[in-house]
Homo-oligomer: A and B are copies of this chain.
Amino acid sequence: MTSGFSHSSSVNKPCPHSKCQDCLGRIQRYIVTKLGEDWLFLVLLGFTMALISWSMDYASAKSLQAYKWMYVELKGNVPLQYLAWVTYPIILIVFSSLFCHLVAPQAIGSGIPELKTILRGVVLKEYLTLKAFVAKVIGLTASLGSGMPLGKEGPFVHIASICAAVLSRVLSIFTGVYEVKLTPDLLVCACAVGVGTCFAAPVGGVLFSIEVTSTYFAVRNYWRGYFAATFSAFIFRVLSVWNKDSVTITALFRTNFRMEFPFDLQELPAFAVIGISCGFLGAFFVYLNRQVVLFMRRPTALTRFLTKHRLIYPAVVTLIIATFTFPPGFGQFMAGELMPRECINSLFDNFTWTKIWRSASPPGLGRSAMWLHPHVSVFIILLLFFIMKFWMSAVSTTMPIPSGAFMPVFILGAAFGRLVGEIMATLFPNGILFDGIVYRILPGGYAVIGAAAMTGAVTHTVSTAVICFELTGQISHILPMMVAVILANMVAQGLQPSLYDSIIQVKKLPYLPELGFGHISKYNIFVEDIMVRKVKFLSPQSTYRELDLLLQSTTLKTFPLVDSKESMILLGSIERCELQAACDWWLSAERRVYNQGQGISSPGSKVSWECFTFIDEEEQEENKEKVRPKWIHRGAAHSIVCSVATVYHCDITTDATFDWPLQIKAWEEAEMDKPIDIDHIRIDPSPFQLVERTSLHKTHTLFSLLGLSHAYVTSIGKLVGVVALKEVTRHLTPNCSLCAADWAAHRSGQMQR
């Protein structure tokens, strides 16, 4: 690859083959340039993710097969059977937990909340490492292979993002100069690929990832996302055809409902009931999940014990869940033998269970037979399944392993929908009469609608409907499904944050509420109404005393720098840490010693100040890590100078031991009244500015779009106020000021770290 560059540099040499070489060099350069382009990146990403998804599915399916085989082989010996039924998932879950804990604790959980935060502009670099990738892939395969109610879609978004991060680094090495930066654009595509490969649902994947991760969305990414997700879903399905799992490319959970008359208008109230109920249930699921997490975080003796012995919690949870689902035990009343995928397939089937219950099972019933208990009604079984799986799903997703909640919630929704469908089929045993033809009710269709509505309510998205179409391969129920999903969303959005926002709140990640329904009045609130008018500022004329007072009296992270107190023209902003460091240095012992010993300027100060360069706002985020080592370096230099100074001190103190604390005091007092040395402080030259008549709506847009934490309000260059995220948040959600405060606290914590 590098030879290409030497060729290109030798273009101007007057050799006979120069033309040919020139051409060759050009071609190579062209290839290198093309390698840096994003379509190749997207193809590679799609291909890799398809391979990973398929392999993971394959491995976890084999694991579940082994689990089932073991259980069946031990038939007759119930205690041994129980032991096998319980031990197998415990081993896998504990292994997953241990592996993640040892390799990369960032791999724990869903990954979507973190991705959302990263796309909000916050750098969480440790989340996109190769280590996290390995931990997530291995851990997730083990989790899925255990048969616990866990999903793979959240982790898959995370895996795809890491994959994108690693790929961009690899491609950068290959292409040399043309660096493929991991931009938010590519991360959004990665999310789409993640969801797309997980369900073989490219359209739904793109939409879901948009809804879940973004506030503002560039339409060009939508195109890229489609390209990558389609390619990836295509490869994923081709792999399964190649492996003879299926005869051709079809949907993952294909349904076979009649198409000529999928439903009647008279069934719509039932669909609406499913939507509204799913809204409440979804909100309750989010609440329950958060309560479990919060309970585990409360400092009690039990939780302290569990934190110390990390593996006990997942092991106990798995033990309890496996015990409940043990088929010869309580499991027989809740179809406990069915693994997640089997649940979906059977809930979506074409039979009406209440009709075939206690009669000869029709051909093609398959695993659906599990729902038909000889003595217990189908309703009881479905209800028990729903209730048990509800808490199981809410609890199991809190285990410290890589796991998603989408699939478990999907199953819950399907079970609820099926329950309503079976009730409807009992209420109208002869179906619905229309135009002289009697159409029977399809409980499977209700299950699909329930699944879409429930996942929509929990994740606050409407694209779950699209995912459902792609998963089932049927679109005949589109309108009632959309209605149910929208109703579920309306209810759930009014009651609880989405599951991902809930996790963001619990984990105290940066958070700005969305502009939801009924926020149109925000157009009539302006920046001048919400801005803080008493702005603390600095000017080149400010003294160190003023600076010190400012630092001690406030906890602000940045301070505006104005031209002068009179003109108030905004020049830029300075970070708190910069000011603190400048202040500390100004009054430091080594500067004093050098000053008193050698004059005004000290060589030491030059060394330490040279480390700083003027860096663009955009680069700052990326360079934070680079800057930090410099800080350490400066600290080290500091301590070296200090020790020198201490030696020096001894020399001085021998002359005048008695009055040196007084002398220092006097020197410090004198120094404090000098104006601050503005040329040696790093300034952000273009802090974000608004004018007084900018609407709150536009402010929210800019804040969420550009990932701002604050903006200065200027009027013809003059600083007149400041608006922070806090003000915006407070005026958007009067009852949610807690979030903003939390956020600010977290942010400051992060800064100080």
A263 to B701, CA, bound (A): 46
Interface residues of A in 191-218 (CB under 8 A from B): 202-203, 207, 210-211, 214-218
A658 at the interface (CB under 8 A from B): no
A483 is contacted by which of B230, B262, B479, B514 (Cβ under 8 Å)? Answer: B230
A701 touches B218 (CB 8 A): yes
Q: Which residues of B contact A478 (CB under 8 A)?
A: 202-203, 251, 470, 473
A701 to B218, CA, bound (A): 8
A465 touches B203 (CB 8 A): yes
Interface residues of A in 227-245 (CB under 8 A from B): 227, 230, 233-234, 237-238, 241
A717 is contacted by which of B230, B241, B571, B616 (Cβ under 8 Å)? Answer: B571
Q: Which residues of B contact A237 (CB under 8 A)?
A: 479
Given A202-B482, A517-B37, A685-B716, A247–B261 Cβ distance below 8 Å? yes
Interface centre among A36, A238, A478, A686, by most chain B C-beta atoms within 10 angstroms, is A478
A38 touches B716 (CB 8 A): no
Q: State which of A16-24, A99-107, A179-187 sits at the interface with chain B.
A: A179-187
Interface centre among A241, A264, A691, by most chain B C-beta atoms within 10 angstroms, is A691
A39 at the interface (CB under 8 A from B): yes
A415 to B217, CA, bound (A): 35
For residue A230, give the distance in angstroms from its CB to the closest CB of chain B.
Answer: 4
A475 at the interface (CB under 8 A from B): yes
A230 touches B520 (CB 8 A): no
Q: Which residues of B contact A520 (CB under 8 A)?
A: 36-38, 41, 180-181, 183
Q: State which of A368-376, A624-632, A692-700, A744-752 sits at the interface with chain B.
A: A692-700
Residues of A in contact, count (CB < 8 Å): 105
Can you name the residue of chain B whose Cβ is closest to the Cβ of A434? Answer: B247
A616 touches B486 (CB 8 A): no
A715 at the interface (CB under 8 A from B): yes
B39 touches A479 (CB 8 A): no
A234 to B215, CA, bound (A): 28
A203 is contacted by which of B466, B489, B516 (Cβ under 8 Å)? Answer: B466
A223 at the interface (CB under 8 A from B): yes
B248 touches A261 (CB 8 A): yes
A219 is contacted by which of B38, B178, B216 (Cβ under 8 Å)? Answer: B216
A686 touches B695 (CB 8 A): no
A469 at the interface (CB under 8 A from B): yes
B241 touches A265 (CB 8 A): yes
Q: Which residues of B contact A434 (CB under 8 A)?
A: 247-248
Q: Which residues of B contact A250 (CB under 8 A)?
A: 262, 476
A211 is contacted by which of B219, B480, B489 (Cβ under 8 Å)? Answer: B219
B518 touches A38 (CB 8 A): yes
B619 touches A693 (CB 8 A): yes
A486 touches B227 (CB 8 A): yes
For residue A729, give the distance in angstroms from its CB to the closest CB of chain B.
Answer: 16
Q: Which residues of B contact A569 (CB under 8 A)?
A: 563, 569, 571, 717
B479 touches A230 (CB 8 A): yes
A259 to B248, CA, bound (A): 11
A435 at the interface (CB under 8 A from B): yes
A691 is contacted by which of B183, B256, B686 (Cβ under 8 Å)? Answer: B686
A247 to B432, CA, bound (A): 12
A-to-B contact residues, CB < 8 Å:
33-34, 36-39, 41, 178-181, 183, 202-203, 207, 210-211, 214-220, 222-224, 226-227, 230, 233-234, 237-238, 241, 247-251, 254, 256, 259-265, 434-435, 462, 465-466, 469-470, 473-476, 478-480, 482-483, 486, 489, 514-521, 523-524, 563, 569-572, 615-619, 683, 685-686, 689-695, 697-698, 701, 705, 714-717
12 contacts between A and B (CB under 8 A): A38-B517, A38-B518, A183-B520, A203-B478, A218-B515, A219-B514, A237-B479, A248-B264, A251-B478, A473-B478, A685-B716, A685-B717
The 10 A-B residue pairs whose C-beta atoms are closest, nearest first, are A616-B693, A571-B717, A37-B518, A685-B716, A230-B482, A686-B691, A217-B217, A475-B475, A38-B520, A226-B462
7 more A-B residue pairs beyond the given contacts A215-B218, A219-B514, A259-B473, with a C-beta to C-beta distance below 8 A: A37-B520, A202-B482, A217-B222, A223-B516, A250-B476, A474-B475, A571-B716
